[in-house]
Structure 1
Amino acid sequence: MWIDKAHHFYMVDNELGPFILMDMWYAVKNEAKWVAYNDGLKVARKRKGSDKEVARKDSDVVDVEENVQCPRPIGQKQAKKTAKKNKKSKLCDSYIEELRTLGRIQYEDHANQVKVLEVQQKLSSDKLEAAKLAHLRAKEQKEAGKVQKEAKRYEAEVRMFETYNCFL
């Protein structure tokens, strides 16, 4: 009944069309905030002398949904304190979790760096060993070349002596 009147007033005041948020009102009307607000409005209506009949009619009609006892909503200051406290603890928890994650990542990165250094040291020692072996091989080849030259020279000398001996 009073909702129909409110719709009529809304249509008169606003030329945009009917009120479209009734579904939202039906969803939130039983929440503690709006129950307390509506109870305050009912008390204010009862105090007016000219609306005694309307107040009596409203008090005679008992709505089951409105008669439900809801806990009183917390005050604004208490809500702020609670929100601040929860925010701090959530922030601390999130910071701690982030630090743990970063610590794990840093530890894994350090372990990977150690592995890379070990592999690099092994590769460098292998390269050094390979370089030493290549150097020794080169020395041996050089000495072998000298020995071969000397052997050819001795062979040439031996042939010369043989030819000389043949002539004598």
Structure 2
Amino acid sequence: MGTQTGAAAASTAPAADKSYTLNSKGIPTELAAYGNGKIPASALEKVGSTGHKLWAPAAQNLNQMIADAKTQGVTIGITDSYRPYEEQVDLAKRKGLYSQGGLAAKPGTSEHGWGMATDLDLNSKAQAWMRENGEKYGFHENVPREPWHWAYRPKTS
């Protein structure tokens, strides 16, 4: 991003330069201590003016990404974010487990339960923009059957 100019040059989110120590499963150690689906409100931050929340660094980067996309005429919406454990259990019952052809991770293993994944509302223009730019903000499309699912990967120390 160092060679970009204009609005894109200011697109580094507040958390983008901070590094985190991850455990063997790629979870920041500060989150792993809480447990999946048990992240306290103090570690979460709102995504824009929506009712959605993510782990604070992920929310900061997502907010910046949405704002930067908007300056380029791209609208990124959000349909899901942090999921407490109880919501993961309910979702697994309703949508089935991913390992069995459904759309839910086993409760207690979901990236949403760490506040590190979001489901986005993307038209074809926004999907293409995400595929080109998401990684600059730490977001990766990592579930092949779910092009709306984007996981946040923080920089590591």
Bigger Cα Rg: 1
Report the TM-score when normalising by structure 2.
Answer: 0.16
Report the TM-score when normalising by structure 1.
Answer: 0.15
**Higher relative contact order (CA closer than 8 Å, sequence separation 6+):** 2
**Richer in strand (by share):** 2
**Richer in helix (by share):** 1
